[in-house]
């Protein structure tokens, strides 16, 4: 898989080959490009990068699915990258917020509340692989935005 660019991307630059919780490892590794690059982008550029990463993920995941003949192979973690980047979009670049975003995203990705569960069960191929994590990321983003709005109020009342 790693000999082909699509396998390399789908596996999150190798994170998907982790023998322990590849989705969690992929989510952690996704923080690195966010920290080094994405968090510095203006909102429109950030959205453009996310959209492009989503499309590239469909392309790469479709290839891995075809090559492995497995509908949602665990080595595909690019969907975790995109989901994490969604959650981190509006998060302050401070470690408690990043940790909170990571924990929240992993919880949503594992628990798969509606509509994440629906997408996971109904949508197939590379698109289906990407959509459920994008939905979990969008849900996490909404929670993190709400928390960020509440934090100044909470700290002034303490």
Query: What angle separates helix 95-111 from helix 22-36, to the nearest 10 degrees?
Result: 140
pLDDT of residue 1: 65
**For residue 104, which phi and psi values (nearest 5 degrees)?**
-60, -45
**pLDDT digit string, tens, across residues 27-45:** 999 999 999 999 999 999 9
Residues whose CB falls within 8 Å of the CB of residue 97, separated by 6 or more in sequence, listed in order: 91, 144, 148
The tens digit of pLDDT for each residue in 111-125 reads 999 999 999 999 999
SS3 content of the chain, % helix, strand, coil (to 5): 75, 0, 25
Handedness of CA 37, 145, 11, 119 (dihedral sign): negative
- pLDDT level of residue 11 (50, 70, 90 thresholds): very high
What's the rounded Cα separation, in Å, for the pair 120 and 109? 10
């Amino acid at each position: 898989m790693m000999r082909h660019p699509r396998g390399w991307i789908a596996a999150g630059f190798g994170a998907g080959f982790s023998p322990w919780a590849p989705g969690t490892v992929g989510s952690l590794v996704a923080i690195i490009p966010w920290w080094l690059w994405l968090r510095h982008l203006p909102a429109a550029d950030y959205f453009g990068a996310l959209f492009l990463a989503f499309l590239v993920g469909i392309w790469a995941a479709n290839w891995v699915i075809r090559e492995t003949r497995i509908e949602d192979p665990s080595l595909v973690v690019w969907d975790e990258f995109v989901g994490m980047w969604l959650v981190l979009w509006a998060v302050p670049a401070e470690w408690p917020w990043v940790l909170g975003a990571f924990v929240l995203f992993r919880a949503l990705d594992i628990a798969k509340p509606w509509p994440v569960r629906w997408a996971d069960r109904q949508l197939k191929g590379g698109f289906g692989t990407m959509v459920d994590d994008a939905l979990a990321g969008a849900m996490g983003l909404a929670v993190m935005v709400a928390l960020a709005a509440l934090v100044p109020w909470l700290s002034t009342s303490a």
